[in-house]
Amino acid sequence: MNADRWSRIRRLHAEASELPSAERRAFLETECAGDQILFAEVWELVEADSDDDFLEAPEVEHVAPGVILGDFELLEELGSGGTGIVFRARQKSLEREVAIKIMPRHFALNERRVARFVREAKAAAKLKHPGIAPIFEVGLVGDNHFFAMELVAGHDLARELELQAEGRGLCASKDSSVQFREAARIVMQVAEALDFAHRAGVVHRDIKPNNIILDPEGRPRLVDFGLAKDESLGSITVTDKVEGTPYYMSPEQARLVEEQVDARTDIYSLGVVLYELLTRSRPFDGRTSQEVISKIIRREPKPVRSVVPGIPRDLAVICTKAMEKRPGERYATARALRDDLTSFLAGEPIRARPPGLMRKVSRFVTHHRVAASFLLAAVLTVGGISWANGYRERLTWPELHVDVLFADARVDAGAVEVNVTATPIHVFSGEAVGAPRELTPSSFRLPPGAWRIDVSAGEYGSSVLIRNIELGQSVMPLRARIVREEELAIASVRLEAYELPRWGVGAVNLEPPKPGGRNFLGSEGTLAIPSFLVQTEEMSFGLFRRYLKESGDPEPEAWSSYEVDRAGDDLPVVLVTRREARACAEWFGMRLPFEVELEYASRGPQWSRTPVWGEDLSSVDLANTQKFEDAKSGGVYAPFGTYLMNVEPTDTRPEAATPTGLLHVLGNVEEMTESQAPDPRPEGMGFTLANYVSYGGSFSVARFHPLLPFISSTPDRLHLAAAFRGFRCVK
């Protein structure tokens, strides 16, 4: 069809569609003036017009003004956040206006969350205090869980701060001393309400300006005990997601030390509110939540009097005391905070004392020395979980359960003495960074971080499990299968122990490290790589299927989404997550390697920059990979199809083996490691626990030159299983 005709069709269609339907035909007959074909074409299109839902996105049903939830009619959205949407609503039976908070829809999918929501609302409903907005009702209509609370006229403290910045606001004054007294008065009244809640066993946990509403008389009301923890109901929840509002989070919340989160957490957050009311700035600010959290944990806030010199000294002392990093050094109760503020307002001496010089020194030392980087890394990881789930669940150190199996069925498991030790290790190199701990074989807890768990059964053999302990899981089951070295099912070769200069580690991609240079493992000394066994070939589908059959473990999750049965037993296994790969390696009595081990295996002891061995790719059909690129830009790229097209059986290409006989260390498929990626972050935060390194390239993704060893990292929390990534085992 020529362009001219096409544009005529387009124009006629548009014009006809604008007309009432009865006039369209006549219009087209006139316009087409005898060109029957043109008329037919346009008329068919116009006739096809319909209001059906063909290609139309589904209406997302959501709550909006006008919607009726049982006794309540929603009138106006007041605000929304991570924990729900708040509406002004009319309660029909009592003819009054209320505020309704509706749980976000996707939370309703999780029964535990729903149960928690209901429990929290009930806990808060028990609180009757003039400083706390009462909860009237907890309900469920359709999929909407909600609670109705008093509609407090006025605006919240966050808005008040905005207004004050413009010189307005309920409690604004041109006289700064009046302003400071007003701040003290508001915080004093909130402290009084908090004290009441604390005595009733309810901790708010989310004190922030948005949750403090000033009524028209300027009296503060606390709202949203939606995240509260009722101690009499048992502990249920932790905090809002990190991304929400980290500014008011206490250090113990930031560090996820759940055991320490109690009434004093509220006191800290209220201290931050006081700080902000006094200085109109936040004690800890940053571009990202992580940055803010990092500062909450590690930094001392700038003293209020150095931000605004006119602030009364006593008020500054009160603020500092409320915001102490350690809960034990804060006011013990909200009542004590209230009393000091009352004394200040009455012009009487306060009880809190400013920290002395020694305290100042010790505070400096503590907060700068703490292994904050690892705590922080844990926060970040959990932040990831929280981001995925919307909420963090209760966070404790998981309890490890070790189940010891013997490959040799004749072994009487009960009669064998098994020793379990756990050693903290460097997340990249795997070398020990602390002393091993003896552990009882049944169950134990370890702090977050990377650990090497050695399960030794003397003459029967031993097994090594590498785990990254994260918060947020209550039990971590471990399965150690003891296989004698001479009975390993996996063909392996032994590499000799090697002392690798530290500057040489991670000699990857474009920037080769130089002697005397420095990288993230340092520049001095050597890294000892003990002698180890390494699987000659990449783990094959055949061996993996054998592991599944022997163990009864479920198939990798991703397999069900691809035609994995089209992959023969001789191809390298892919589409497995790290967890699934580990389970397979450990079933065979082995483990996944660290990056340095694979680098050593592919470069040899000379640690040559360009491997003199490895994949000889001269014969790889690069046309295929080019085809892949073309296909991709054309929009018909099937990842698993590309795999089947380009990847070869694990035992091929012997001419490209390393001198020790390893195949495909660099090519065929990328290989998973236990090494976590160095990730340069601001403030020297070091490693993000979530990024794991893969080694080598894949023939199905030929984007990088596959002759060079390279590492790439993938965020593990996405739990992606990829069609270009497999693994091999070591022991």
Partner 1 sequence: MQNEPNSARDEADTFARAGESKGDFFERVYDELHGLASRQMRSQNPRHTLQATALVSELFLKLGHHDLEKWQSRDHFISMAASAMRSILVDHARSKKRQKRTPLGGRITLDEAATEFEARSGDLVALDDALVALGGLEPGLVKLVELRFFGSCSMEECARLSEKSLRSVHRDWRFAKNWLRKRLDPDSAKPASGSA
Piece of the chain touching partner 1 by CB under 8 A; list 40-48, 185-193, 440-448, 508-516: 40-48
Looking only at residues 11 through 30 of this chain, which bind partner 1 when binding is defined by CB under 8 A? 13-14, 17
722 touching partner 1, by CB under 8 A = yes
225 touching partner 1, by CB under 8 A = no
Looking only at residues 560 through 579 of this chain, which bind partner 1 when binding is defined by CB under 8 A? 560-565
- Please state the closest distance from residue 31 (CB atom) to partner 1, in A: 14
Piece of the chain touching partner 1 by CB under 8 A; list 317-325, 362-370, 605-613, 699-707: 699-707
Among 701, 702, 711, 729, binds partner 1 (CB under 8 A): 701
Q: Please, which residue, 44 or 175, has the CB nearer to partner 1?
A: 44
Q: Please, which residue, 517 or 682, has the CB nearer to partner 1?
A: 682
723 touching partner 1, by CB under 8 A = yes
Per-residue binding string, partner 1, 391-430, x by CB under 8 A, is ----------------------------------------
Q: Please, which residue, 176 or 626, has the CB nearer to partner 1?
A: 626
The β-bridge partners of 432 are 425
- Please state the closest distance from residue 34 (CB atom) to partner 1, in A: 11
Mapping DSSP to helix (H, G, I), strand (E, B) and coil, where does residue 284 land?
A: coil
Q: Residue for token digits 């571009």?
A: 287
Going from the C-alpha of 516 to that of each of 500, 501, 520, 525, the distances in angstroms are: 13, 9, 13, 10
Extended strands (E) in 380-515: 399-406, 419-424, 437-439, 443-445, 449-456, 462-469, 475-482, 492-495, 498-501
Among 119, 712, 726, 731, binds partner 1 (CB under 8 A): 712
Containing H/E element for 543? Answer: helix 541-551
Burial (Cβ within 10 Å: 0-12, 13-18, ≥19) of residue 493: middle
Q: Please, which residue, 605 or 682, has the CB nearer to partner 1?
A: 682
Q: How many residues bind to partner 1 according to rule CB under 8 A?
A: 74
286 touching partner 1, by CB under 8 A = no
- 314-319 long-range Cβ contacts below 8 angstroms, 24+ apart: 314/340, 314/344, 314/349, 314/350, 315/180, 315/183, 315/184, 315/274, 315/278, 315/344, 316/278, 317/350, 317/352, 317/353, 317/354, 318/184, 318/274, 318/344, 318/350, 318/352, 319/271, 319/274, 319/275, 319/278
Number of continuous H segments (helices) and E segments (strands) in the chain: 19, 26
Among 4, 33, 53, 684, binds partner 1 (CB under 8 A): 53
Looking only at residues 64 through 103 of this chain, which bind partner 1 when binding is defined by CB under 8 A? 80, 84-85
Piece of the chain touching partner 1 by CB under 8 A; list 150-158, 419-427, 442-450, 697-705: 697-705
Q: Please, which residue, 246 or 461, has the CB nearer to partner 1?
A: 246
Containing H/E element for 84? Answer: strand 84-91
Q: Say which residues have a Cβ less than 8 Å from residue 307's Cβ, sequence separation at least 6.
A: 279, 281
Report the alpha-carbon distance of residue 620 to residue 613 in Å, rounded: 15
Q: Residue for token digits 């022997």?
A: 550
Among 30, 50, 440, 618, binds partner 1 (CB under 8 A): 50
Piece of the chain touching partner 1 by CB under 8 A; list 166-174, 201-209, 438-446, 709-717: 709-717
Piece of the chain touching partner 1 by CB under 8 A; list 132-140, 343-351, 503-511, 556-564: 556-564
Per-residue binding string, partner 1, 256-275, x by CB under 8 A, is --------------------
The torsion of the CA quartet 597, 603, 605, 609, rounded to 10 degrees, works out to -120
Per-residue binding string, partner 1, 184-223, x by CB under 8 A, is ----------------------------------------
**Residues annotated as catalytic (active site), given as ranges:** 206
594 touching partner 1, by CB under 8 A = no
Looking only at residues 635 through 694 of this chain, which bind partner 1 when binding is defined by CB under 8 A? 635-639, 679, 681-682, 688, 690-691
Looking only at residues 341 through 380 of this chain, which bind partner 1 when binding is defined by CB under 8 A? 380
Burial (Cβ within 10 Å: 0-12, 13-18, ≥19) of residue 256: buried
Report the alpha-carbon distance of residue 653 to residue 613 in Å, rounded: 12
Piece of the chain touching partner 1 by CB under 8 A; list 58-66, 129-137, 155-163, 397-405: 58-66
Among 70, 104, 154, 355, binds partner 1 (CB under 8 A): 104
Nearest to 334 by CA among 203, 185, 221, 230: 203
Looking only at residues 115 through 174 of this chain, which bind partner 1 when binding is defined by CB under 8 A? 143
Report the alpha-carbon distance of residue 296 to residue 384 in Å, rounded: 18
Going from the C-alpha of 228 to that of each of 194, 207, 249, the distances in angstroms are: 12, 10, 14
Report the alpha-carbon distance of residue 152 to residue 164 in Å, rounded: 20
